[in-house]
Each structure stands twice: as structure tokens, then as C-alpha cells.
Amino acid sequence: MSDEAPVAAEKIEGIVVGVDGSQQSKCALRWAEREAVRRGSVLNIVSAYTIPVFAASSMDAGYSTLDDDLIRGGAEDIVRQARADLEGSTATIRTYIESGDPSGVLLDLSQDAELVVVGTRGRGGFVGRLLGSVSSALPAHSKCPTVVVPLAMAKEQEDAGAAVASDRNCIVVGVDGSDRARSAVLAAADAAMAGSLTLRLICAVPPMGAALAWMPATVDQEAVLEDVRYQMSVGTKWLASHYPDLKMETDVVSGPPVEVLIRESEHAVLTVTGSRGRGGFTGMLLGSTSQGVLHHSKGPVMVVPDSEDPRLEDRKDFDTRAQEQ
């Protein structure tokens, strides 16, 4: 099914994928299509375009109208090709073209979407700039989870319709004990259950000496790791109470979180992080770990925004029980 209409004309639900004709966005399109089929969700293909400031300011009204028509025509070609690339898909597909900043357009759509998918970098030039900065800006502000499909995936899958590589066999989620990370864990668990995959929970603990210059020399790194393992065991009991059939494995690793998660992403169907973790100040848009993983991941990354999931409310009960034992 295909339907073309201005983005602002209606409330868009389901999965939204931003396209700009680049190989990265084509790979994101394929990933989004498979996810839409798996979830039974509508797939909304969206392209946004802007008129360059220098063009709009230097031309009279007649030329500006012509320029708008030409650029919109390019966006229409991109959407038309994207729809053709999915010929034969069983997903319900709708296409949209909007004049406006791509980040702003996709951010508006995230209000009602269940998932937004983009590639890591888009085309250059003034018709583009579609997904270059979007993959960094969107996860920081999105109201729903954002999946960023990296260039590495485009190279890995020369056939854009190919199945995920066989050595990708789990969903990885980074945890740090914060509520934001727990929101990410729940989103990762939902994805793992839907795909009948193992959920791998990773907590990376930077070496004390390298991370905190003021840390007393008497602090035992292994003792810290052991305490984190204990906290992880409590957390998995809480998660199992909501997902009794979920296959889980945990690992506590000594090392920088970004490096650890990038390494884990090589074998993950999806790597999941919160938008911000511990240590960030309130105004921080996207945590350094999320940014680092987004820029260097070997597979798709889902960034999960803060949520008010009711399942978070009983997490402290498990901490209390553990302390009483």
C-alpha cells in the first residue's frame, strides 16, 4: 500500500524512516521494513528538503518558486525510488514529503511514532544534509526510541535485502544502574522477546585509577566489579519478574563503556543505550556513551529516551529485598 501526503496533514503512527537516497539511508530503509513486518506496524517513508539560505535570499519570488519545485522534485524521486526498492514487501507502506529541516520534521513525527529509523550519514550538498546531522541530533530530542543504522551495515550487506549476518545473535544493552538505563533495558527486553533473541546486559566499569584521579589508592577494582555483579544479579531478578521467558546473560567488564559497547556491537542484532546515563548534568542533550556508540557502532543502535514506564516502579522493591537477605 502506498499513500503520499504532506507530513503535517495527519497523525503518523508506526515506524518512521528518513530517506535521502544515500546507501546508508537505503540500508536503514531495509532495516525499518523488516522491523515493520515483524511488528505488524505501518512503515512511513519520509523525505524532507530545505531551500538553501543563499538561494532563497538571492533570488526573487519567481526564481525561488522554481528552486523549490526543483528541490521538491528531487525529494519526490528519492521517495519514489525508496518505495520501488521495497516492491513485494508485505508491510503497509506510506510515503511523505515535507519542506523543512529534516531533524525538526522527524522530531515532530516522533511524538506519535513507535520508532524512528535513520542512517548515520546522508548526502552532502544542499539538496541533502538530510541525515548527516540528523543521526546525532534526533536521538537527543526524540520522544520515541530512535534506531541509527551505521555505514558499516551498508558495507556488510551489499544486498540490502539480505538477512542479518548469522553471527549477530543477541541484543545488547548497556546498563549503569540509572533509571534511564532501566528504561533502555525494558525496551531492549521487548525487542529481544519479539525476536526470540537472548538479551545481553553489559555494565562497563572504567578502571578506577584512570577514571577518578581522586579515588583512594586502597579502592580494590575487583571488589568494585564484584559489587556491580551483585547489583546486576538483583536487576536481572527484577527483569525476569516482568519477562519470565526472556533468555538473559550478563557481563561486567572492566573498561571504557564506549569501547566495550562498540566491541559488543559487532555480534549484536541491536545495541541499546539510554539517551543519558549517570554523571551527566540535566542540560546535557545526549550522553557521551550514547554519542560514542552511535558514531562507531558496527551494527544498528537504539537510543531510548526517558520514560515513565510503570514497570520501573517496583525496581526498588528488589533492592530492599536484597538488603534484607
Predicted confidence (pLDDT) per residue in 110-135, tens digit: 999 999 999 886 444 333 444 446 66
**Does residue 92 form part of some domain?**
yes
Angle subtended at Cα 297 by Cα 140 and Cα 261, rounded to the nearest 5 degrees: 90
**Does residue 149 form part of some domain?**
yes
Q: Is it the case that residue 71 has pLDDT exceeding 50?
A: yes
Same domain as 202, residue 137 = no
Neighbour-count burial of 124, counting CB atoms closer than 10 A to its CB (0-12 exposed, 13-18 middle, 19+ buried): exposed
Same domain as 306, residue 200 = yes
**Does residue 3 form part of some domain?**
no
At residue 119, the 3 state secondary structure works out as strand
**Does residue 109 form part of some domain?**
yes
Percent helix, strand, coil in the chain, to 5, is 45, 20, 35
Q: Which of 290, 315, 4 is nearest to 135 (CA)?
A: 290
Q: Is it the case that residue 57 has pLDDT exceeding 50?
A: no
**Does residue 150 form part of some domain?**
yes
Q: Which three cell numbers stand for residue 180?
A: 534511564
Helix axes 102-109, 134-141, angle to 10 degrees: 30
Find how far residue 202's CA is from the centre of its chain.
Answer: 17
Same domain as 256, residue 126 = no
Phi-psi region of 279 (alpha: psi -120 to 50; beta: other; left: phi over 0): left
pLDDT higher at 69 or 314: 314
pLDDT of 128? 40
Same domain as 26, residue 132 = yes
Same domain as 197, residue 69 = no
CATH number of the structural domain spanning residue 225: 3.40.50.12370
Q: Is it the case that residue 205 has pLDDT exceeding 80?
A: yes
Minimum mean pLDDT range among 42-56, 129-143, 163-177, 221-235: 129-143
What does the chain come to in residues?
A: 325
Q: Which of 29, 148, 116 is nearest to 78 (CA)?
A: 29
Q: Which three cell numbers stand for residue 95?
A: 510515503
**Does residue 1 form part of some domain?**
no
**Does residue 88 form part of some domain?**
yes
Same domain as 64, residue 20 = yes
Q: Is it the case that residue 105 has pLDDT exceeding 80?
A: yes
**Residue where a domain stops, chosen among 157, 182, 208:** 157
Same domain as 302, residue 238 = yes
pTM for this predicted structure: 0.81
Which residues does 42 contact at the CB level (< 8 Å), separation at least 6? 13, 14, 15, 36, 91, 92, 93, 94
241-268: pLDDT as tens digits: 999 999 999 999 888 888 999 999 999 9
Same domain as 215, residue 272 = yes
Same domain as 107, residue 45 = yes
Q: Where are the beta strands (DSSP E) in the chain?
A: 4-5, 15-18, 43-49, 93-99, 115-119, 146-149, 170-174, 198-205, 248-254, 268-274, 301-304
**Does residue 2 form part of some domain?**
no
Same domain as 116, residue 84 = yes
Same domain as 45, residue 139 = yes
Same domain as 189, residue 145 = no
How many structural domains does the chain have? 2
**Residue where a domain stops, chosen among 114, 138, 157:** 157
Q: Is it the case that residue 161 has pLDDT exceeding 50?
A: no
**Residue where a domain stops, chosen among 103, 133, 157:** 157
Domain that holds residue 312: 165-322
